[in-house]
Amino acid sequence: MKAGTDQIASIILAAGASKRMGRPKMLLPYRAGTVLSSAVAPHLEAGVGRVIVVLGHRADEVRSAAGLPADPRLTTVVNVDWAEGMASSIRRGLEECGEVSAVLLALGDQPGVDAARVKALLAAWTPDVRLVVPVHGDRASHPVLFARSLFSELRDLRGDVGAREIVRRYWPQAARVTAPPLADIDTEEDYRA
């Protein structure tokens, strides 16, 4: 049985301080919007049931200036513990998901994700698959889809780590979707590239 996309939420992690960039990278102009609005749009376009954007550092400024669309599926939340690292933002996003069957964890500083990539990940997921990972060669990429059965492991993460260890643990059983490589926007050089 295939679950509908309304049973899948996307969590967009956008809480960091942009230390290497030196300014709020989520607000940088990108294509027809900002880095953050460009990272969010493909999830909405792909038909994900809920999109939760987790803000933190300068949350009010980012929320008001990011140019996020008015879509009933889109929610912004604030992670007051953002300085503890990415794991706290994952937990905050999961708090908002409700009773979804799976989540896509995405990075707000990867606006190169497109709707086709998100749709391919959604199409590869079935309730008996715990993990769907886009891959380029033998390298995992983003976003990664986690079934509900992995939510407790996501909640147990601590510090400034993403879900890399969970991906490694379940890599042998993961459904893999071939996808082009993605670049993070962490520095001015990354942004100009």
Q: What is the pLDDT of residues 63-107, one digit of tens each?
A: 999 999 999 999 999 999 999 999 999 999 999 999 999 999 999
The full set of domain ranges for the chain reads: 5-192
Residues 6+ apart with CB under 8 A from 59: 15, 78
Give tens-digit pLDDT for 162-188.
899 999 999 999 999 999 988 878 888
Report the Cα 148 to chain-centroid distance in Å.
Answer: 16
* 34, 40 contact by CB (below 8 A): no
Nearest of 59, 182, 71 to residue 121 by alpha carbon: 182
Measure Cα distances from 51 to 47, 149, 181 in Å: 10, 20, 23
The reported pLDDT for the residue numbered 3 is: 57
How would you class 22 by CB atoms within 10 Å of its CB: exposed for 0-12, middle for 13-18, buried for 19 or more? exposed
Structure tokens at 42: 């493909």
Q: How far apart are CA 156 and CA 139, in angstroms?
A: 24
Lowest mean pLDDT among 23-27, 31-35, 107-111: 23-27
Compute the distance between CA of residue 27 and CA of residue 35 in angstroms, rounded to an integer.
6
- In angstroms, the CA 108 to CA 82 distance is 14
In percent, how much of the chain has pLDDT > 90? 80
Buried b (16+ CB within 10 A) or exposed e, 77-94: bbbeebebbbbbbbbbbb
More confident residue, 11 or 98: 11
CATH of 5-192, one of 3.40.50.10470, 3.10.620.30, 3.90.550.10, 3.40.50.720: 3.90.550.10
Output 74 or 20, whichever has higher pLDDT. 74
Of the pLDDT bands very low, low, confident and very high (cuts 50, 70, 90), residue 1 is: very low
